Amino acid sequence: MTAKKKLSKLDQALVNEIVTGVIRWQLKLDFILDKILSRGLKHTDPQLVNILRIGTYQILFMNKIPDYAILNETVNLTKYLAYKKYATSLVNSVLRELLRNPELNKAPDREKNLLDYLSIQYSHPKSLVKHWLRIFSEEETEKLLEKNNERAKITFRINNLLASNEEIKQYLDENKIDYSLNKYYENIFVINKSSVSLEENPLFKEGKITVQDASAVIATKLIAPNENSFVIDMCASPGGKTCHLADMMQNKGKILANDISKQRTDLIVENINRLKVKNTEISISNALNINEDIKADYILLDAPCTGSGIIRKLPEIKYLNREKTLKKTVEIQRKLLEKATKLLKENGVIIYSTCSIEPAENMENVMWFLKNFPQFSLEKADNYVNSFFCKNDCVQIFTHIHDCNGAFAARLKHNT
């Protein structure tokens, strides 16, 4: 932490780029290194492997840094190792070999083994690629893998409680900030240059804008509460959707924003203070324990999930043991869905959402719910959200189609 504090903003950005990049491309980097190292990757000290990954990543993906600087800096990292002399000469020879021989960067032959090719070319675990090839076509899977490796642009939502869309546009134009408007929603903006940091921007500090992915904004739009509604947000931290709801309700009605984590609920407090949200009460508890005497008009269950829709932002997610995590996650999601039914007024609406593209967490959970709670029906999402984002009556967003995080949302209406 202390070391991080001493870094300039520029160096922090560089460290962030290298760390995220190495995680994103680890399988491809390891494939290349394994070919160069005579002992193979498995028999090389993990600390040295990490140093080699850092150097290899920069050579392959960071064109602005000259090769000699990458070589020097990577060799420098070996000075902390006990076997410095051996490590220095190994790093030198491996990186020089990589610079000499660009063929090393070639993925396995696609014709011989599609799975191996896709896994290495796009650096995603084979088990995940295999799973997606079962769900999507080959072409779609490849597009998804490719998009997952892009660096996402910064997206923000205008807090219409404090600012109009026109005011924000005028500020961005006057300050020559390059931005694009979302084609479908006028309160979603995208910053075109990744070097712009919003946290230091006065618009952000004054709460007029907030960083939020388009997929999250669109899922919240599916709720469409009335101004005087009572909404329970069962899993609310860090409060992105809570604050958007408050904006849609013009700070009227009431929102109970609950989360299991004290640390994460502190982030809701920060956000509601910055965005001047006034209609929200915060509670810290396992949502399964929320008092059932309270009944809401709308329940937002933005469930804990495997996060398979946000790999572009958090590449480490792709290395999770999917099979193991999925079973447990679906169990929790179903328990939370059942609990939601007990917190709802008659004729109320549950919005079930995830930031996953996994059918088991999305459509299959909705089917399970409708079967077990026949007093509910699935309302057509495209009555509330632009049909571009809808499939099978639900919001279904994919990074390779919609160019934002993957997400899912369903509107489940109670019928008396």
Ligand X SMILES: C[S@@+](CC[C@H](N)C(=O)[O-])C[C@H]1O[C@@H](n2cnc3c(N)ncnc32)[C@H](O)[C@@H]1O
Positions marked active-site: 355
Q: How many helices (H) and strands (E) does the chain have?
A: 16, 13
Contact criterion met (CB below 8 Å) for 37 and 44:
yes
Between β-strands 296-302 and 230-233, what pairing exists: parallel, antiparallel or unpaired? parallel
Closer CB to ligand X, 25 or 369, in the complex: 369
Residues lying near ligand X in the complex (CB under 6 A): 216, 234-241, 258-261, 264, 286-288, 302, 304, 355
Output the smallest distance, CB 260 to ligand X, in A.
4
Closer CB to ligand X, 103 or 292, in the complex: 292
Output the smallest distance, CB 278 to ligand X, in A.
18
Closer CB to ligand X, 27 or 407, in the complex: 407
Kindly list the distances between the CA atom of residue 288 and the CA atoms of 89, 179, 343, 365, in Å, as whole numbers in the listed order: 57, 42, 10, 17
- Write the CB contacts of 190 (distance below 8 Å, at least 6 apart in sequence): 153, 154, 155, 179, 180, 181, 182, 214
The number of beta carbons lying within 10 Å of the beta carbon of residue 139 is: 9
Half-sphere exposure of 325 toward its Cβ, with a 13 Å CA cutoff?
15
180 conformational bin, left if phi > 0, alpha if psi -120 to 50, beta if neither: beta
Output the smallest distance, CB 59 to ligand X, in A.
36
Output the smallest distance, CB 402 to ligand X, in A.
18
Closer CB to ligand X, 124 or 241, in the complex: 241
364 token code pair:
């299959």
Output the smallest distance, CB 310 to ligand X, in A.
9
- CA angle (267 as vertex; 242, 299 as ends), nearest 5: 25
Closer CB to ligand X, 123 or 242, in the complex: 242
Q: How many whole angstroms separate alpha carbon 226 and alpha carbon 350? A: 14
